[in-house]
Amino acid sequence: MCREWELSFLLGMHLWIIVAYSIPVATATAIFLIYSSGQGSFSDGIVGVFGGSLFSVTHGSLVTSNLIRETTKIEFANEGYRFGQ
């Protein structure tokens, strides 16, 4: 946190920019420590949070793999669908 404050100070940013840098840290703390400790046992909460993340990643990879088709020797793999369209 101090390095971010130092960088913002050197760049002439406002001092409240440290709040923006601390939000991801506070969110991770709330999700993985505070929220999961109230879910029966600590390990059950962690499994629930990671299970949701795993489901999201798996779903995203399945959708992405359905968009990419096999190519022949004549075609290039990057022809057709382009990510970010």
Mean per-residue pLDDT over the chain, rounded:
65
Residue 58 pLDDT class (50, 70, 90 cuts): low
Say how many domains are in the chain. 1
Report yes or no on whether pTM surpasses 0.85. no
Residue 72 region by backbone torsions, left for phi larger than 0, else alpha for psi between -120 and 50, else beta? beta
Say which residue the tokens 């022809």 belong to.
79
Q: How many Cβ atoms from other residues are within 10 Å of residue 45's Cβ?
A: 19
The answer to whether residue 61 is domain-embedded is yes
In a domain, 73, yes or no: no
49 located within any domain = yes
12: left (phi over 0), alpha (psi -120 to 50) or beta: left
Per the domain annotation, does 30 fall within a domain? yes
Residue numbers of the domain that contains 25: 2-66
Gap between the Cα atoms of 32 and 43, Å rounded: 10
How confident is residue 29, by pLDDT bands cut at 50, 70 and 90? confident
Higher local confidence (pLDDT), 32 or 1? 32
pLDDT of residue 31: 75
Those residues whose C-beta lies under 8 Å from the C-beta of residue 16, and which sit 6 or more positions away, are none
